[in-house]
Amino acid sequence: MKDFSAEINKCIEVMAKGGLILYPTDTVWGIGCDATNEAAVKKVYELKQREDSKALICLVANDAMLERHVAQVPELAYDILDLATKPTTIIYDNPIGLAKNAIAHDNTMAIRVASDKFCSYLINKYKKPIISTSANLAGKPTPTHFGKIEDPILKGVDYIVNLHHDKQNGPPSSIIKLGNDGTVKIIRE
């Protein structure tokens, strides 16, 4: 547990200074940063060599944090999250208090309530949402485990979490778009 706490504290220290972390999530190894820090989000796009018109996923620790960062969480979202059998990311209208360059051009944000113990503790202790994007360069496949992450990513982050390096990735999250008008669109099952 000591290592677990030390890793969380190191990640918080790095993110608080606008740095990037490489960390295990409930799905894949992710590149993360403070989701409220525009300069840090810009570094993520630069590292991935990705256009900033491609939206990112944001992780929150719980429903309360979700409600602080979305103008109106549709009731259906809670049902979907309660019934989901795997990590589920929901795209919400009108995000609040997140870096402008992390928000999609249509004023939506893909947000997942983290189910992984490490992520939940990290985000809870940091008290802010964090970005989560797969640890690969744009156009390259998502690495299936830590050993497949390419050098530019490993060298481009400010800190690599020293846990779960032997763990295979879980399946990618489902992605569902929920409009405040009641529309539901499945983006990825």
Looking at the predicted structure, is the pLDDT value of residue 1 above 70? no
Q: How confident is the model at residue 53 (pLDDT cuts 50, 70, 90)?
A: low
Reported as a pLDDT band with limits 50, 70 and 90, residue 169 is confident
2-188 domain in CATH 3.80.10.10?
A: no
Comparing 2 with 12, which gets the higher pLDDT? 12
Angle between helices 2-16 and 117-126 (to 10 degrees): 50
pLDDT at residue 7 tops 70: yes
Q: Beta-carbon neighbour count of residue 183 at 10 Å?
A: 10
- Answer whether 167's CB lies under 8 Å from 145's CB: yes
Report whether pLDDT(60) > 80.
yes
User: What pTM value is reported for the model?
Assistant: 0.93
Q: Is residue 117 scored above 60 in pLDDT?
A: yes
Provide the residue ranges of all domains of the chain, joining segments of one domain with +: 2-188
The pLDDT assigned to 168 comes to 77
Under 8 Å between Cβ of 23 and 167: no
